[in-house]
Amino acid sequence: MNYWVLIGILIVVAGFALRLNPMLVVTAAAIVTGLIAGMDPVEVVSTFGKAFNDNRIIAIVWIVLPVIGLLERFGLQQRAAAVIRGMRNATTGRLLILYLLYRQVTAAIGLHSTAGHPQTVRPLVAPMALAAAEKQHGELDEPTAEKVKAYSAATDNVGLFFGEDIFFAIGSIVLIQQTLATYGYNLAPLELALWAIPTAILAFLIHGARLMLLDRRLATASRHPRESGGPASSAFGEDEKRDSRFRGNDTDGERP
Amino acid sequence: MITLQWLYTLAGLMFAAFALLSAFDRSHSKRFGNAAFWGLMALSLLAGDLIGDFGNGLLVLGLAGLAGFGLIGRSAPPTTSEEERQGWSDRLGNRLFLPALIIPATALFGTLLYNYTPLGDLGWFEEKRETYIFLGLGVLLAIAAIFAWLKPPALAPLQEGRRLIDAIGWAAVLPQMLAALGVLFAAAGVGDVIGGMTRAVIPEGSIFLTVLVFGMGMALFTMIMGNAFAAFPVMAAAIGVPLLIRGYGGDAAVIGAIGMLAGFCGTLMTPMAANFNLVPAALLELKDKNGVIKAQIGTALPLLFANILLIYWLAF
């Protein structure tokens, strides 16, 4: 066994840690790994290029950008926020729990590519979550807004990952089936999909509970600005003071 | 028959337009870098099958060089102001959601109709790719609807698309690069080495500890490779099949299905899964590139542990 091939992994880890440009890091790791494995330079470049070409399907999703951009031009994000402001009981947590459920259920019936970060999170889910957070919390400082946006994206991922495997005709189920079949275990895809259900339920419970905690944090944090700044304070200086204090506050609530 | 290549062509034409618009954007300080970058993406999508493996390799090196040496940057194509947008939002009301729903609705109902009615027997679309094709169709329908209703300037969809793709930048291409890196890792035998090392740390005779190493190994190797697909065959070959299924008589379906899901917990915690973790950070314009990962760790770790327990309880 050639342990030197692990240098590629080391390059990736070090490159990410040093915050070098990931495109360069990945290319360097690929070339070094290929050379260590005994390929000649032309072979390395060709293997890398072929694999890139074989994975072009990943780039397809960007065709939605012109539509999303057009709708933003006509105020879609503002509209999404306005709808949430009009709902009395909307909170960030409840909204994201609803989206989590929607994402899990649609992914479980094979419709995983109908939603996603460009299609639904940026134009709809994130602005709605931000508007709900503003209702709960008052005006959002930057770290809080960042956190709400990050949770919106995270909720999409959790819903997708722990919904899609319930659908038996998805790539990962096929891969499990094929891999185990080479060892003589012939399993029906449906049998594998069934065992994805317990984890799907647990994922909903765990992530849902964290979204409710997020709600609570947004609600308790909102008391401070009203006490100090008054409800309608909009002076920039005051906002900035509030910001810096909140930044400290917010990191306290972070996970270890 | 409509194949995936049709979609590649559609996407390729879009990237070609981004490249042209970048080249003619005099207000953009890095306009030729952006033009070259999106031009190479267009070439890959339009002619990737024609330029050979080595040609594709040079194309990838070009993309990496342009991105890595800071030759591409954000742009400011003509769009509406915050006030104008608020005005449009007030004027148009909730009808504004209708065109936004065209894409998911077309993909959803198209897929359902195609799979559960005789429509699918006509063989119009490449097998298993119908959702993507309906996605493309939805995009075209949505653009047509917006033009019929709101009459934006002719170049608006491409300029707005360029605004968004330039905000995402090289992160739009990174997932494909990482997938390619995974192929090289596999070709070089990284999986065998990792599998061998994992097997070396397992103590004899303890089912629970073996399950623990299997689950953690799935998550960790997924974090390194950026996706659980690469990790599963390695962990199955190293631990899943020889130890858990053959050695201790565990249920193969449980070990396979939940083992894969343990890997998905790793996907939530790694920047290597760029399309799930780094791309949305760019898309939502987060300051912290790792913000999405940080929001996910609190779900991923307990869920990983839960998966390990599930395998232990359900498979034995």
Comparing CA positions, the residue from A167, A155, A171 lying closest to residue A105 is A167
**Are residues A144 and A32 located together in one domain of the fold?**
no
The string of DSSP codes covering B45-67 is HHHTTTSHHHHHHHHHHHHHHHH
Q: Find all residues with CB under 8 Å of B168, minimum gap 6, and list them.
A: B279, B282, B283
Average pLDDT, rounded, for chain B: 92
Pairwise CA distance, residues B12 & B45, whole Å: 5
pLDDT value of position B185: 87
- The CA distances from residue B80 to A59, A65, A101, B176, in Å, are 27, 16, 34, 32
In chain B, residues with a C-beta closer than 8 Å to the C-beta of A8 are 181, 184-185, 188, 190
Tens-digit pLDDT profile for residues A25-37: 999 999 999 999 9
- Is the Cβ–Cβ distance between B215 and B314 less than 8 Å? no
- The CA distances from residue A42 to A49, A53, B34, B57, B268, in Å, are 10, 16, 27, 9, 35
Q: How many CA atoms lie within 13 A of A249 on its CB side?
A: 18
Tens-digit pLDDT profile for residues A79-137: 988 888 888 888 999 999 999 999 998 888 777 777 889 989 999 999 999 999 999 88
pLDDT value of position B32: 96
**What's the count of helices (H) and strands (E) in chain A, helices before strands?**
13, 0
Is pLDDT above 80 for B309?
A: yes
Characterise A138 by phi-psi region: left (phi > 0), alpha (psi -120 to 50), beta (else).
left
Q: What is the DSSP letter of B78?
A: S
- Is the Cβ–Cβ distance between A84 and A128 less than 8 Å? yes
**Are residues A47 and A135 located together in one domain of the fold?**
no
In chain B, pLDDT over 90 holds for what percent of residues?
68
Check the CA dihedral B40-B41-B45-B51 and report its sign. Answer: positive
- Is the Cβ–Cβ distance between B241 and A183 less than 8 Å? yes
Position with higher pLDDT, A89 vs A231: A89
Look at B184 and A195 and tell me if their CB atoms are within 8 Å: no
Measure A137 CA to nearest chain B CA, in Å.
Answer: 19
**Are residues A81 and A158 located together in one domain of the fold?**
yes
Q: Find all residues with CB under 8 Å of B151, minimum gap 6, and list them.
A: none
Measure A227 CA to nearest chain B CA, in Å.
Answer: 29
Is pLDDT above 70 for B304?
A: yes
pLDDT value of position A222: 63
- Domain extent at residue A49: 3-54
> What are A194's two structure tokens?
């069934």
> What are A223's two structure tokens?
């008391």
pTM, to two decimals? 0.81
In chain A, the number of structural domains is 2
In chain A, pLDDT over 90 holds for what percent of residues?
50
Helices (H), A165-235: 171-181, 189-194, 197-221, 223-229
Q: Nearest CB to A76: which of B100, B258, B274?
A: B100
Shortest CA distance from B223: residue in chain A: A13
Selected for mutation to probe chain A from B149, B292, B313 (highest A CB count within 10 Å) is B292
pLDDT value of position B13: 98
> What are B75's two structure tokens?
């742009």
Pairwise CA distance, residues A203 & A207, whole Å: 6
Selected for mutation to probe chain B from A18, A56, A158 (highest B CB count within 10 Å) is A56
- Is the Cβ–Cβ distance between B231 and B294 less than 8 Å? no
Characterise B201 by phi-psi region: left (phi > 0), alpha (psi -120 to 50), beta (else).
alpha
Residue type, B99: P
Is pLDDT above 70 for B3?
A: yes
Check the CA dihedral A104-A106-A112-A117 and report its sign. Answer: negative
- CA Rg value for chain B: 23
| Mean of pLDDT values over B108-127 | 83
Pairwise CA distance, residues B236 & B213, whole Å: 12
Q: Nearest CB to A176: which of B96, B232, B298?
A: B232
| Mean of pLDDT values over B59-85 | 94
Comparing CA positions, the residue from A153, A154, A91 lying closest to residue A128 is A91
Helices (H), A165-194: 171-181, 189-194
Shortest CA distance from B309: residue in chain A: A199
Q: Find all residues with CB under 8 Å of B69, minimum gap 6, and list them.
A: none
How confident is residue B25, by pLDDT bands cut at 50, 70 and 90?
very high
Cβ burial, residue A153 (10 Å; 0-12/13-18/19+): buried
Look at A52 and B7 and tell me if their CB atoms are within 8 Å: no
Average pLDDT, rounded, for chain A: 83
> What are B205's two structure tokens?
């005779």
The string of DSSP codes covering B4-60 is HHHHHHHHHHHHHHHHHHHHT-TT-TTHHHHHHHHHHHHHHHHHTTTSHHHHHHHHH
Q: Nearest CB to A34: which of B188, B260, B272?
A: B188
Please tell me the least confidently modeled range out of A195-204, B27-36, B178-187, B213-222. B178-187
Comparing CA positions, the residue from B310, B198, B274, B128 lying closest to residue A58 is B274
Measure B50 CA to nearest chain A CA, in Å.
Answer: 11
In chain B, residues with a C-beta closer than 8 Å to the C-beta of A72 are 79, 85, 160
Q: Which of residues 19-48 of A touch B (CB under 8 A)?
A: 21-24, 26-27, 29-30, 33-34, 36-37, 39, 42, 44-48
Task: Judge whether A145 is closer than 8 Å to chain B, CB to CB.
Answer: no
Pairwise CA distance, residues A244 & B8, whole Å: 47
pLDDT value of position A224: 52
pLDDT value of position B189: 86
Tens-digit pLDDT profile for residues A61-85: 899 899 989 999 999 889 988 888 8
Look at B175 and A58 and tell me if their CB atoms are within 8 Å: yes
Give me the total of CB pairs closer than 8 Å, taking one residue from chain A and one from chain B. Answer: 431
- The CA distances from residue A210 to A254, B14, B106, in Å, are 12, 39, 33
In chain B, pLDDT over 70 holds for what percent of residues?
100
Q: Nearest CB to A117: which of B68, B279, B299?
A: B279
In chain A, residues with a C-beta closer than 8 Å to the C-beta of B11 are 59-60, 62-63
How confident is residue B108, by pLDDT bands cut at 50, 70 and 90?
confident
In chain A, residues with a C-beta closer than 8 Å to the C-beta of B115 are 110
Please tell me the least confidently modeled range out of A168-182, A239-253, B275-289. A239-253
Residue type, B180: A
Q: Where is the domain boundary, A54, A74, A94?
A: A54
Please tell me the least confidently modeled range out of A3-12, A195-204, B127-136, B138-147. B127-136
Tens-digit pLDDT profile for residues B251-272: 999 999 999 999 999 999 999 9
Measure B205 CA to nearest chain A CA, in Å.
Answer: 22
Selected for mutation to probe chain A from B111, B227, B283 (highest A CB count within 10 Å) is B283
pLDDT value of position A236: 32
In chain B, residues with a C-beta closer than 8 Å to the C-beta of A117 are 279-280, 283-284
**Are residues A106 and A23 located together in one domain of the fold?**
no
| Mean of pLDDT values over B22-48 | 96
- The CA distances from residue A253 to A216, A248, B295, in Å, are 11, 9, 12
Look at A44 and B99 and tell me if their CB atoms are within 8 Å: no
Pairwise CA distance, residues B158 & B20, whole Å: 10
Measure A225 CA to nearest chain B CA, in Å.
Answer: 24
> What are B135's two structure tokens?
């996605």
| Mean of pLDDT values over B112-132 | 82
pLDDT value of position B211: 96
